Amino acid sequence: NFSLFTVVYATTVKIEGRQLLVNGSTFTIKGVCYAPTPIGQGAGYDWSADANTYTIDFSLLKAMGANTIRTYGTPTATAAMDAAYNNGLYVIMGYWVNPGQDFGDTTVRNNLINGFKNMVSTWKDHPAVLMWAFGNEVWPGGSGTDEQKWSNWYSLVNEAAHEAKNIEGSNYHPVTTMNKDILETIGKQSYGSADSSMTALGCWGLNLYLGQNFSDRFEKYEAISAKPMFISEWGCDAYNGVTGLEDESTQELYIENLWKEIEQNLSSKDSNRVCLGGTVFEWCDEWWKSHTNSLGNSGHDTTTDWTNNNYSDPNMNEEWWGIVSQSAGTYDRTPRQAYSTLKTLWLACSTSTFATGTISGIVMKAADGTAISGAIVEVIGPQSIIVSSTTTSTDGNYQLIKLSTGTYDVRASAGGYQTAMVSACVVSGETTIVDFALLTVSISVSVVWSSSITVPTYFAGSMLNVYEMPIIVTNDGSVSESFLLSCSSATDMEAPHQDWSLSTSTPVNNTQFRVMTLFNNTVPSAEAFDPALDALNYNPQAAGSGSGRFYYTGDGGGFVPAGQSRNLWLCITPPRDTPDPSEHRFTISITAEQALTGP
């Protein structure tokens, strides 16, 4: 058993003025609030530990042009963060803070700061991290005036941001916090929320539910803070409490109008503007959120949970805000009209047969940021057709020119690294920068099996199935793997001692043996082994020893997918003509290597 672990090189995220820069390029947040609780589950569900959930979701998010997810709690699984990054998704990582606490209490503050510091320390080097989010719509409790209570809260936010900077050093990620509305508490000296007090905060997040538009909030915000902001919650539910029916059209109309207004205020287009983008609320319906919970976590409640007269239908239904819906008993998603509209808006890119542009960038190691020479970069068009490809230079740079305008997938791959793919828009006469930081492949194989076999003489020259001792190969790495099986040299236990060698054919003397391998769920028969396909290749490692790569047949092909186990069976033909009563002994060991092909 062995594992290869890497220290991951963080993405560089900076706020300069009112702009967000990711790896030196301006960045627009096109994201979703991500809390994909399955039907029957509740608020404690950990999506990051459920690959069935995020594998489906991240593929759909990538297809719609999203580049960000905003979480409400801290992920627990590296594989989930890897999957986000490899699908072109950055993470605004939320640290949950219960509202109503006395934030002036030393114990409360210390507990929250220590928990936040632990999250930052755990994830600071992962390239999927975009920002840290300390709290969501928090209101303070305790005693004292409103000014005192709010000052306690905002001083805690600023302290948390300072601690994150101290942990990360110069390459720190911005810290944000989510507020219900700017008119309530932001930018007030008496509340400690003015820029002069919030020195470590990177940007503000605003949760705004104001109907089809954001009213005067962009203008109001510009007057009270020089920091950038993003709309951290916005949208419309998909259930009409007036008609008593699902209403995708109204949800679509509101979300389209709101995003277009966000676009008009993007600082990535004009550095004097205030907005970094937005995370629509929300990705998927959550069937546990009704205030009455009359149907439990397994029913889709249509009860009005609160009213909001900014909407044509003022009945707000907590369980119907997803831009995709879900079905009981499956992980399937059904995109609503709003999903398709956002896809059109987020992937908007003029296409011309004659206009061309360029994609260029660098491919680097996620482990330390150094260049990867010889990496393959491919531009993939409709029907998965590769329209252009190149390899990186010695300094990791690449350039693909004369690409027709339009939206493409750009894929980077290199031996020993996880393949990454992102969407990119080619604009006429312009160069689109697409950089990659490839994660090192994680390889880990566990083998449950006795490492030595003793073969009695009477089996000499005939096939022996070791039925009672299958090798259980478990792939707990991050990619599909093939495995190298080594057969060591061995000798007769009785004189005269002779070394053995590995043969791919039937042994013809007392110095040769053959090993055939087969993956199968159940015990195979001797006839199931095909010498032409399943015998190990002869490849001398030292005098009297040999090893070879597996050649697999049987169920599932020749690879062990990530996170799965398979039974490996051996069919052994010992040496011939060995003096009685000697026994033969040889040792087999398993190591892992990345699959050269396969899923």
Q: Please give the angle made by the CA atoms of 223, 225 and 229, to the nearest 5 degrees.
A: 110
Q: Is the pTM of this model over 0.75?
A: no
* CB neighbours of residue 298 within 10 Å: 12
Confidence tier at 154 by pLDDT (50, 70, 90): very high
* H-state helical runs in 199-292: 217-224, 248-264
> Selecting from 3.40.50.2300, 3.30.1360.10, 3.10.400.10, 3.20.20.80, what CATH number does the domain 11-346 have?
3.20.20.80
Domain layout of the chain by residue ranges: 11-346, 356-438, 444-594
pLDDT digits (tens, 9 = 90+) for 275-306: 999 999 999 999 999 988 888 888 999 999 99
Tokens for 557?
């092909």
Per-residue model confidence (pLDDT) at position 598: 37
Is 156 within 8 Å of 109 (Cβ atoms)? yes
Average pLDDT value for residue range 516-540: 70
Per-residue model confidence (pLDDT) at position 234: 98
Query: Any residues with CB less than 8 A from the CB of 491 and at least 6 apart, and which?
Result: 497, 498, 499, 500, 585
Per-residue model confidence (pLDDT) at position 104: 97
Per-residue model confidence (pLDDT) at position 483: 56
Express as a percent the part of the chain with pLDDT over 90: 58
Is the CATH code 2.60.40 the one for domain 444-594? yes
Which range, of 78-92, 144-158, 182-196, 454-468, averages the lowest pLDDT? Answer: 454-468
Is 519 within 8 Å of 556 (Cβ atoms)? yes
Tokens for 359?
């994609």
Kind plus residue range of the DSSP H or E element containing 344: helix 337-346
Tokens for 461?
């020259």
CATH architecture for segment(s) 356-438: Sandwich (2.60)
The C-alpha atoms of residue 276 and residue 270 are separated, in whole angstroms, by 11
Pairing type for strands 452-456 and 481-487 reads: unpaired
Average pLDDT value for residue range 405-431: 87
Confidence tier at 546 by pLDDT (50, 70, 90): very low
Pairing type for strands 406-413 and 376-380 reads: antiparallel
Average pLDDT value for residue range 417-427: 87
Average pLDDT value for residue range 107-114: 98
Domains 11-346 and 444-594 share a fold: no
pLDDT digits (tens, 9 = 90+) for 450-469: 444 554 444 444 555 444 45
